[in-house]
């Protein structure tokens, strides 16, 4: 069997990620440029700045991964890239670059769904889960539970009805006067506080389905902030907020495992790096003789490795659908269960 090099390109939001995955050697090279510093001043990701920064970063990162892997462009067998969902301008940078490289090399380009990259990313670790498993995807733009039966076989079990969990973290952080990115700053403040001193709701925890809602939690935080808080009060509120989000994420994940009668949970997306969430999931799953799998920390946030890997998996499964005309088409809104 011929050996394969897959180039992976991710540019759906504020990280430019490139990687080279080899079907026998695994992940050989990957590089990510994060725009956190760029957006920090503005308190959030700025779409147009994001696209411009992707343009600046993508070629140097491409050269870097080629050099790190010790190969030349002609060695690349396929180019996988994030075609959606995400910010249209940001996606177009990666798509245009990927299709151009593929066209120049006479190789296929494989459009990949960003969330498929995330939910397959734990399979890149040294001790990967086996299909089937339940995946909890939690990030700034997404919160959903999926049943993953095989590559390309995803069933939506539940998702947020309003705000994503990461968005709730970011906006709550802003309400508490914390700097961007809000999630890690809020988690740090929560460590100094005690949950339960201020009471916040656990939205939809007992709704009987697997959907989420975080918008009401944000409103409850606003009401608490408006009543006036001292330093200790802020920390307690941060701790209670984090506990409320974690309670809901954990409760719904366990319900999804019960409903599907599965024992393996995969957690992907930026919020999956939250320490309190990991502690609680590890404990709950251990008590149920189940297991929870996380991508390596470096692969929790957006990266090219997961896109290269998803491309390789799709190629191996005969599920890659290269656009023969090298059309540059992105899908800023693209439900994962329509793959």
Binding site for other proteins (CB under 8 A): 39, 41-49, 51, 85, 87-89, 140-141, 159-164, 167, 171, 174-175, 215-216, 218-219, 221-223, 226, 332-333
Give me the least distance between CB of 248 and other proteins, in Å please: 16
Give me the least distance between CB of 116 and other proteins, in Å please: 18
Give me the least distance between CB of 143 and other proteins, in Å please: 10
Q: Which is nearer to other proteins, 77 or 167 (CB)?
A: 167
- Which of 176-180's residues contact partners 24+ apart within 8 Å by CB, and which partners? 176/221, 176/225, 176/234, 176/237, 176/238, 177/234, 179/40, 179/43, 180/36, 180/39, 180/40, 180/42, 180/43, 180/44
User: Could you give the C-alpha distances from 317 to 25, 191, 338, in angstroms and in order?
Assistant: 18, 45, 18
Give me the least distance between CB of 175 and other proteins, in Å please: 6
Q: Which is nearer to other proteins, 47 or 233 (CB)?
A: 47
Q: Which is nearer to other proteins, 160 or 301 (CB)?
A: 160
Q: Which is nearer to other proteins, 70 or 177 (CB)?
A: 177
85: cis peptide before it, omega within 30°?
A: yes
What is the dihedral sign for C-alpha 254, 195, 272, 87? positive
Q: How far apart are CA 163 and CA 143, in angstroms?
A: 8
Q: Which of these, 261, 260, 265, 259, lies nearest to 278 by C-alpha position? A: 265
Give me the least distance between CB of 89 and other proteins, in Å please: 7
Lookup result for tokens 């990030």: 139
What lies within 8 Å, CB to CB, of 63 at 6+ separation is none
Give me the least distance between CB of 73 and other proteins, in Å please: 31
Give me the least distance between CB of 84 and other proteins, in Å please: 11
Residues 12, 31 contacting (CB under 8 angstroms): no
CA–CA–CA angle 23, 27, 32 (5° rounding): 140
Residues 113, 335 contacting (CB under 8 angstroms): no
What lies within 8 Å, CB to CB, of 36 at 6+ separation is 14, 180, 181
């Amino acid at each position: 069997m011929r050996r394969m090099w897959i180039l992976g390109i991710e540019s759906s939001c504020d990280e430019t990620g490139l990687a080279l995955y080899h079907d026998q050697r695994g992940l050989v090279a990957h590089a990510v440029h994060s725009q956190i510093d760029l957006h920090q001043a503005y308190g959030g990701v700025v779409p147009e700045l994001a696209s411009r920064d992707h343009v600046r970063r993508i070629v140097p990162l491409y050269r870097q991964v080629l050099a790190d892997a010790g190969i030349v462009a002609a060695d690349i067998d396929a180019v996988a890239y994030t075609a959606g969902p995400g910010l249209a301008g940001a996606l177009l940078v990666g798509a245009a670059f990927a299709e151009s490289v593929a066209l120049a090399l006479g190789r296929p380009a494989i459009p990949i769904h960003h969330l498929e990259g995330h939910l397959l990313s734990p399979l890149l670790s040294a001790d990967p889960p086996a299909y089937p498993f339940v995946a909890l995807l939690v990030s700034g733009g997404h919160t959903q539970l999926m049943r993953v039966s095989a590559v390309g076989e995803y069933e939506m079990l539940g998702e947020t009805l309003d705000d994503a969990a990461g968005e709730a973290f970011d906006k709550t952080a802003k309400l508490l006067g914390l700097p961007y990115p809000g999630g890690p700053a809020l988690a740090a403040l929560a460590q100094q506080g005690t949950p339960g001193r201020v009471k916040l709701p656990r939205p939809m925890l007992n709704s009987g389905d697997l959907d989420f809602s975080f918008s009401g939690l944000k409103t409850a935080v606003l009401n608490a902030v408006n009543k006036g808080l001292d330093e200790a009060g802020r920390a307690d509120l941060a701790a209670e907020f984090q506990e409320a989000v974690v309670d809901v994420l954990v409760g719904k994940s366990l319900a999804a495992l019960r409903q599907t009668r599965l024992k393996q949970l995969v957690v992907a997306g930026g919020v999956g790096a939250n320490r309190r969430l990991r502690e609680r999931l590890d404990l709950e799953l251990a008590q149920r003789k189940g297991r929870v799998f996380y991508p390596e920390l470096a692969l929790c946030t957006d990266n090219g490795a997961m896109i290269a890997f998803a491309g390789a998996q799709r190629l191996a499964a005969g599920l890659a659908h290269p656009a023969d005309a090298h059309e540059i088409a992105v899908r800023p809104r693209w439900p994962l269960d329509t793959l």
